[in-house]
């Protein structure tokens, strides 16, 4: 090999070496991962204590990361423990395993395959329980406003102001339905739903039962109240007993007319279907919360030719009742029934207050919808 | 006293029941859980005794007076007695002091529940399909504007959910979905507002002692 050829070979080798080094540098710069920054730890707000919220500024290499490991160190201890791992794109993590009043610091580690880069340690933070959930201020404000509206209209009712309540056909038909049963000499069946006494619909059903039982006592008809919940059964029996006393017919009350059947859903439906086919009640009331048995009960009642009045706040069961019953109280009408039937000024005042509360919500909704629509109109974005 | 004491109890428990919603502090949350898991469970257990007493009294009375279909009351009373004995002394899986199998024939309370009550419940549930048909027939027989509208909407939603509709009328599935997501949801939400406010108003009236129907309307 001549001197010139040797020189050429050396230049080619150096060129190749430079090229390799250059590529290596580029690859390293592409795959180098950077840690997240500004890691801040603070007490998790609106909780019962025992948790710390950790927030950070996202890593510039976030798009190629597997995720972030969260490390915790208790102040005064050298032990570091991993408290969680979350995927890329996240900028916060809640450590729910802290002890209140203890100080903790956190480190967020960016992870890509086997490479890891840790952030600086956060500020020390302690967890503590809160005495008020600030996220629920709106609920508190609305409840206070709503309570004032109800109290205002109750006071107006107390002063003797005539309060108008629109006619509810299902409730207007109660007298007629009870009268029909008396004329036919047949009993009246009252089904108070399938939920416990803690459900507002069941309490509403008890309120209606009291008014219906008073009318039944006055007409001297027979009442049957089968129950699926033992607590509801005891309340229902007391309600009916008290209604008979108020109607001046305590002797006509039969404790056996209100009884517990079973807490099994479909066994209860079978039992009530049996009562309807055997006893052939002239009127069936279905008041309260119902599940899939709603149509089984209402269709069996319809097949016996009974007048049926239903009322429920179970939105999914309403179409079935509307189809199979003569009258149906829709949702809130169930709650209004007690006031409507008793015509007590105090209850009517509460009812009017409730309607005003609804009107306030509707106005707020309309105003906010209009604002929302106007601010999102494409034409406004031209200006 | 007969009225004031229950009203006072309702006022206190009503306010206490609302506190955990607003106060996340563990003192309140623990007290609330304790109340729900202990006190209410004990009350429920006592009321169950009252319930069972009621059903026994009801059917014993039917048997004693030999009312119509009194034979069925015997079936209920005997079944109640047998299952109670098996449940109380045979244990849940037949691991109690009472033997609950004869060879391979098991009659422990768990087997009775799985092999008898569950299939009987499923049988009642399956009747729903037939009742749906009869209810739909009655509804559509009404021949009113609402019934026609209901029939038309039901047809669009049902037909729009099967693949054939997309083949015949490509836009029908979208229209069916629109019916479910826009008018149907709007109506449901409207009712939801009414129900929520009605529930709130009823709760307030009960807590404040204005609504006393649950006490039998005692003034």
Give me the residue spans of the domains in chain A.
37-118, 163-343
- Are A141 and A72 within 8 A, CB to CB? no
Residue range B15-55, pLDDT digits in tens:
888 899 999 999 999 999 988 888 888 888 888 888 899 99
Q: What is the mean pLDDT of chain A?
A: 89
CA-nearest of A54, A43, A41 to A129 is A43
- Residue A208 in contact with partner chain B when CB distance is under 8 A: yes
Residue range B1-14, pLDDT digits in tens:
677 888 899 899 88
pLDDT band at A151 (very low <50, low <70, confident <90, very high): confident
Q: Closest Cα of chain B to A157: distance in Å?
A: 12
Q: Quick one: pLDDT at residue B219?
A: 55
- DSSP assignment of A4-71: HHHHHHHHHHHHHHHHHHHHHHHHHHHH-----EEEEEEEPTTSSSS-EEEEEEPPTTGGG--EEEEE
Residue range A35-58, pLDDT digits in tens:
999 999 999 999 999 999 999 999
A223 chain-B contacts, CB cut-off 8 A: none
- Give the pLDDT mean for A223-240: 93
Of A5-9, B29-33, B127-131, the poorest mean pLDDT is in A5-9
Contact state of B134 with A299 under an 8 Å Cβ cutoff: yes
Q: Which of A257, A335, A346 to mutate to test the interface with B (most CBs of B within 10 A)?
A: A335
Q: By three-state DSSP, how is residue B193 classified?
A: helix
pTM: 0.81
- Residue A275 in contact with partner chain B when CB distance is under 8 A: no
Contact state of A358 with B117 under an 8 Å Cβ cutoff: no
The domain made up of A163-343 has a fold known as Rossmann fold (3.40.50)
Contact state of B210 with A342 under an 8 Å Cβ cutoff: no
Residue range A158-203, pLDDT digits in tens:
887 777 888 888 888 998 999 999 999 999 999 999 999 889 899 9
Window 131-190 of A, Cβ < 8 Å to B: 131-133, 136, 139-140, 143, 146-147, 150, 154
CATH architecture for the domain at A37-118: Sandwich (2.60)
Look at residue A218 and tell me whether its pLDDT is greater than 80: yes
pLDDT band at A88 (very low <50, low <70, confident <90, very high): very high
Residue B24, CA distances (Å) to A50, A131, A215, B19 in order: 12, 6, 46, 9
Question: Strand pairing partners for A111?
Answer: A67, A116
- The span from the CA of A201 to the CA of B129, in Å, is 27
- Give the pLDDT mean for A256-278: 94
Compare B88 and A378 and report the one with higher pLDDT: B88
B52 chain-A contacts, CB cut-off 8 A: 230, 260
Contact state of B26 with A129 under an 8 Å Cβ cutoff: yes
- Are A272 and A297 within 8 A, CB to CB? yes
Look at residue A102 and tell me whether its pLDDT is greater than 90: yes
Q: What is the mean pLDDT of chain B?
A: 87
Contact state of A351 with B26 under an 8 Å Cβ cutoff: no
pLDDT band at B75 (very low <50, low <70, confident <90, very high): very high
Q: Give me Rg for the CA atoms of chain A.
A: 36
ipTM of the complex: 0.85
Residue range A276-320, pLDDT digits in tens:
999 999 999 999 999 999 999 999 999 999 999 999 999 889 888
Give me the residue spans of the domains in chain B.
1-67, 142-219
Contact state of A230 with B136 under an 8 Å Cβ cutoff: no
Contact state of A146 with B201 under an 8 Å Cβ cutoff: yes
């Amino acid at each position: 090999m001549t001197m010139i050829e040797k020189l050429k070979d050396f230049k080619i080798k150096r060129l190749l070496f430079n090229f390799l080094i250059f590529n290596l540098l580029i690859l390293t710069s592409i795959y180098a991962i950077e840690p997240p920054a500004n890691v801040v730890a603070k007490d998790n707000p609106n909780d019962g204590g025992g948790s710390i919220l950790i927030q950070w500024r996202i890593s510039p290499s976030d798009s190629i990361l597997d995720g972030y490991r969260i490390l915790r160190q208790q102040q005064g201890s050298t032990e570091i423990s991993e408290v969680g791992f979350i995927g890329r794109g996240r900028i916060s993590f809640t450590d729910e395993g802290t002890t209140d009043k203890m100080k903790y610091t956190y480190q967020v580690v960016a992870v890509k395959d086997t490479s890891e880069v840790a952030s600086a340690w956060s500020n020390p933070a302690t967890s503590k329980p809160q005495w008020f959930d600030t996220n629920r201020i709106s609920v508190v404000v609305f409840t206070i406003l709503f309570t004032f509206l109800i109290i205002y209209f109750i006071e107006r009712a107390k002063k003797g102001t005539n309060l108008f309540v629109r006619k509810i056909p299902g409730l207007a038909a109660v007298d007629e339905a009870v009268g029909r049963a008396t004329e036919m000499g047949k009993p009246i069946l009252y089904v108070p739903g399938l939920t416990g006494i803690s459900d507002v619909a069941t309490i509403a059903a008890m309120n209606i039962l009291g008014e219906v039982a008073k009318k039944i006592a006055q007409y001297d008809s027979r009442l049957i109240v089968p129950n699926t919940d033992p607590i509801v059964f005891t309340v229902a029996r007391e309600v009916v007993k008290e209604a008979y006393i108020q109607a001046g017919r305590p002797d006509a009350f039969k404790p056996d007319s209100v009884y517990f059947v079973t807490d099994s859903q479909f066994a209860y439906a079978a039992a009530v279907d049996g009562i309807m086919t055997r006893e052939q009640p002239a009127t069936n009331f279905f008041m309260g919360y119902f599940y899939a048995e709603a149509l089984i009960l209402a269709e069996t009642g319809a097949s016996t030719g009974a007048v049926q009045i239903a009322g429920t706040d179970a939105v999914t069961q309403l179409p079935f009742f509307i189809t199979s019953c003569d009258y149906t109280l829709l949702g809130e009408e169930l709650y209004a029934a007690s006031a409507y039937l008793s015509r007590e000024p105090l209850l009517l005042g509460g009812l009017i207050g409730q309607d005003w509360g609804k009107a306030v919500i509707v106005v707020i909704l309309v105003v906010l919808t209009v604002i929302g629509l106007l601010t999102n109109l494409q034409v406004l974005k031209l200006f | 006293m007969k009225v004031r004491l229950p009203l006072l109890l309702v006022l206190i428990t009503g306010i206490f029941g609302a506190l955990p919603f607003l106060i996340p502090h563990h003192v309140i949350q623990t007290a609330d859980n304790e109340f729900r898991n202990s006190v209410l469970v004990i009350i429920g257990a006592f009321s169950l005794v009252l319930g069972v007493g009621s059903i026994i009294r009801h059917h014993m009375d039917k048997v004693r007076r030999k009312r119509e279909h009194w034979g069925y009351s015997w079936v209920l009373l005997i079944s109640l007695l047998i299952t109670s004995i098996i449940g109380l002394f045979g244990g849940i899986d037949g691991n109690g002091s009472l033997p609950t199998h004869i060879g391979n024939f098991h009659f422990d309370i768990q087997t009775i529940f799985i092999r008898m009550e569950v299939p009987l419940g499923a049988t009642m549930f399956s009747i729903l399909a037939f009742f749906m048909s009869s209810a739909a027939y009655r509804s559509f027989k009404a021949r009113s504007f609402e019934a026609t509208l209901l029939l038309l909407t039901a047809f669009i939603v049902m037909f729009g959910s099967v693949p054939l509709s997309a083949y015949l009328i490509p836009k029908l599935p979208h229209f069916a979905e629109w019916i479910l997501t826009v008018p149907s949801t709007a109506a449901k939400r409207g009712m939801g507002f009414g129900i929520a406010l009605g529930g709130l108003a009823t709760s307030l009236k009960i807590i404040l002692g204005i609504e006393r129907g649950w006490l039998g309307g005692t003034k």
